[in-house]
Structure 1
Amino acid sequence: MKTLPKLVAISVLALLAIRADAKSNFDIIANLDNGPGNVTVTDNGRIIMSLHQFYQPKFTVVEYKDNTIVPFPNREMVDADSKAAMKLDSVLGIRSADGIVWMLDNGMRSRVTPKLVGWDIKADKLHQVIMLPSPIAPKDAFVNDFTVDTRHNIIVISDPAGGTNAGLIVVNLKTGKVRRVLEGDSSVIPENVDLIIDKVPIQIKDNSGKLNRPHIGVNPITEDLNNEWVYFGPMHGLSLYRIKADDLANEYMDDNILASHVERYSDKPISDGISIDKDNNIYLGELAENAIGVITTDRKYRRLSQCPRLSWVDSFSFGPNGDLFAVVNRLHQSAMLNGGVLSAKPPFYLLKIHALSSGLPGR
């Protein structure tokens, strides 16, 4: 196995997991040279991350191992047929469950059909590939994050798409059938709120050179450990919603009826990925304030930590022993979201957060 020393720089502080500051609620586990996308931690403690496509990484998925990172899956162990089936282009969403690491490839770098790829880490072989063709994933799709429900045998994907056509995608893992639901529902489309970080607004430069402030639809998504409720909401939105997993798994339920079953759960700040513990506390990054917060079971949001280093906390995942991991990637300083100007510089971070309770590895 070949390591990639140039992709990661581990400081003495990171090696010792020294607390970022005396009053913080997190530890810096690693300083990374490449901007991470999402993170998942398997039930045996393997830390696997996507590298964010906005930073044009050489590899799209890597494993943090022995204080460095290596490509995942190990290219030397992938046979020719698996390589042909996988062809990972631009993975962001990544989750693990029951020995399978699921990777959501949005295909945007090479403009190829999005797909969901499952890799069996016990057998070290390809488990399943499920394509997400149009109109399930429309031309402006940005399939981003997802949750794995092993009770209903489904995966639910968030797709902010173009905003007004945002929706959820439900994948039946047994049959491979895929459905797009709740498209354009008020629970998934963005609200008219701008994201401003350190007094600088998020801006995208269009083909004419004009700067626009994007409003991004449904992105954060997770599910409680009993596989009862799926929680989700627009990234640019101040509300978190939920719906019964039974309803999402029901392939015969009319979309209008499904929409009537969505309930507003709580307030939330503008946020990216989320996770949940066994007591149903929901963790998220408060992007505008360089902070990490939690929505507790009284449905109230409160801040856990605020620090300049918490500069776009993107994704969370519980690991074994109750540990909660997260990544910091400063996406607002990527050229994509900074008006075409790349200002983000390493290090980016892999964090361990002091959660209120333990959770399920991979979620």
Structure 2
Amino acid sequence: MRILESSLCSAFALALALAAHAEPSNYEIHARLDQGPGNVTVTGTGRVIFSQHPFYGPADSVVELKGGGGPTPFPNAALNDRGGPSALKLDSVLGLRAAADGVVWMLDNGMRGGMTPKLVGWDTVSDRLQRVIYLGSEAAPKDQFVNDFAVDLAHKRIFISDPAGGADAGIIVVDLETGAARRVLQGHPSVLPENVDLVIDGRPVEMKDAQGNRVRPHIGVNPITEDVRNEWVYFGPMHGHGLYRVKAADLADDQLPPAALAQRVERYADKPISDGISIDRDGNIYLGELAENAIGVITPDRKYKRLAQCPNLSWVDSLSFGPDGKLYAVVNRLHQSAVLNAGENASKPPYFLLKVDALAPGLAGR
């Protein structure tokens, strides 16, 4: 079956490459999963950890893929036990990142259990809880959907993307020393969704509103990453054709007036509708091209090109580098979930964890 899949996708990619005068793609299916994944991160020691997407109602919010076996709860079963009384329990984790100091940060939006959104840091070196940071209502409004983030140990900050309700999309800056969180760039064009629909395989992505009407969601800032030198933070709306950037030092500066910060944001490049992103040591920015079942890259000349295209690449949600230089990515077919398919669940396993040949190595966990 694996040989057949590879052959079919290679033929598909080759036909597309010949049509576009491009190189054929190169990726492999690293693992087949029974539960739809959310985001993935890989530690400096090679531990592969990923969230299980809340849209699929998983028993365990975060799991680790261990050699030879299936996913096991990360960091343990107790922290994933949503039936417990503790506010520390993991409820609805999407974004997670392994930092260079060995701490895996997990971003829990708390939406399934109606819990306060929080960041949970687990020290994989000492195997213990490192810290919990709660995001108050001033930083994360009622319609928050805190999703992805970048960890910046140089500036002692975490930068979180929050598409919220659309018009109130913004970025949350968390101070790792004090735990204070503040919301910036709310309503700025760089975080707002554009009026563009996502259409996959000829079918528009639709949700049902409270009255049961079909609506086409337009989601604000979602993809976010930071270069390996901790100089620039790159971000943009999911439903949008622009990728933006701002200096990490400016984003971290809580004394910089909002108007001044807004003026320092620049439009970096064109991009397709996309979910997660990652970046390598040479400044190549990788993303999933959702509408085309593809993975693409924005090169340092600010041009976008497609790296891989195949029916297997059906909603590439998140990307992260491992210490082996490979780019890991998850495929979860989220547009076929009941939430994004007007109430009808058409999504079936297996889902995929991929390893992609990148143009250059990246920083593990980023």
Shorter-chain TM-score bucket reads: over 0.9
Q: Report the equivalent of 1:293.
A: 296
Q: Deviations over 1:88-113 (max 9, x none)?
A: 10000000111000000000111111
Distance 2:324 2:63 in 1: 22
Distance 1:315 1:52 in 2: 11
Q: Which amino acid aligns with 2:248?
A: A
Distance 2:93 2:272 in 1: 25
Q: Report the equivalent of 1:57.
A: 58
Distance 1:45 1:349 in 2: 18
Q: Which amino acid aligns with 1:171?
A: V
Q: Is the 8 Å Cα contact of residues 79 and 90 (structure 2) preserved in structure 1?
A: no
Identify the match of residue 90 of structure 2 among 76, 88, 91. 88
1:256 CA drift (Å): 1.1
Q: Output aligned runs, 1:217-236, within 5 Å.
A: 217-236=220-239
Q: Output aligned runs, 1:216-255, within 5 Å.
A: 216-255=219-258
Identify the match of residue 283 of structure 1 among 282, 286, 299. 286
Q: Report the equivalent of 1:48.
A: 49
SS at match of 2:178: coil
Query: Percent identical across equivalent pairs?
Result: 64
Distance 1:38 1:240 in 2: 20
Identify the match of residue 312 of structure 2 among 297, 309, 318. 309
Q: Is the 8 Å Cα contact of residues 18 and 28 (structure 1) preserved in structure 2?
A: no
- Counterpart check, 1:144 vs 2:147: yes
Q: Which amino acid aligns with 1:344?
A: S
- Counterpart check, 1:166 vs 2:137: no
Q: Deviations over 1:258-311 (max 9, x none)?
A: 000000000000000000000000000000000000000000000001100100
Aligned residues: 349
1:86 CA drift (Å): 2.1
Distance 1:113 1:311 in 2: 31
Q: Is the 8 Å Cα contact of residues 310 and 328 (structure 1) preserved in structure 2?
A: yes
1:136 CA drift (Å): 0.9
Provide closer, same or farther for how the CA distance between residues 77 and 215 of structure 1 changes in structure 2, counting only shifts above 3 A. Answer: closer
- Counterpart check, 1:176 vs 2:165: no
Distance 1:85 1:361 in 2: 30
SS at match of 1:186: coil
Distance 2:363 2:320 in 1: 8
SS at match of 2:262: helix
Distance 2:79 2:139 in 1: 32
Identify the match of residue 327 of structure 1 among 322, 327, 330. 330
Q: Report the equivalent of 1:153.
A: 156
RMSD over equivalenced CA pairs, Å: 2.0
Q: Is the 8 Å Cα contact of residues 20 and 28 (structure 1) preserved in structure 2?
A: no
Q: Is the 8 Å Cα contact of residues 158 and 168 (structure 1) preserved in structure 2?
A: yes
- Counterpart check, 1:135 vs 2:135: no
1:25 CA drift (Å): 1.7
SS at match of 1:95: strand
SS at match of 1:288: helix
Q: Is the 8 Å Cα contact of residues 223 and 236 (structure 2) preserved in structure 1?
A: yes
Q: Which amino acid aligns with 1:239?
A: G
Q: Is the 8 Å Cα contact of residues 19 and 26 (structure 1) preserved in structure 2?
A: no
- Counterpart check, 1:72 vs 2:61: no
Q: Report the equivalent of 1:34.
A: 35
Q: Deviations over 1:185-227 (max 9, x none)?
A: 0000100000000011010101211000000000000000000
Provide closer, same or farther for how the CA distance between residues 347 and 13 of structure 1 changes in structure 2, counting only shifts above 3 A. Answer: farther
1:133 CA drift (Å): 1.5
Q: Is the 8 Å Cα contact of residues 278 and 286 (structure 2) preserved in structure 1?
A: yes
Distance 2:222 2:184 in 1: 14
1:135 CA drift (Å): 2.1
Distance 1:76 1:332 in 2: 31
1:19 CA drift (Å): 10
Q: Which amino acid aligns with 1:252?
A: Q
Q: Report the equivalent of 1:5.
A: none
SS at match of 1:258: helix
Q: Deviations over 1:239-270 (max 9, x none)?
A: 00000000011011111110000000000000
Q: Report the equivalent of 2:112.
A: 109
Q: Which deviates more, 63-72 or 227-236?
A: 63-72
Q: Report the equivalent of 2:276.
A: 273
Distance 1:196 1:76 in 2: 40
Q: Which deviates more, 96-105 or 17-26?
A: 17-26
Q: Which amino acid aligns with 1:61?
A: V
Q: Which runs of 5+ in 2 are unaligned?
A: 12-23
SS at match of 2:352: strand
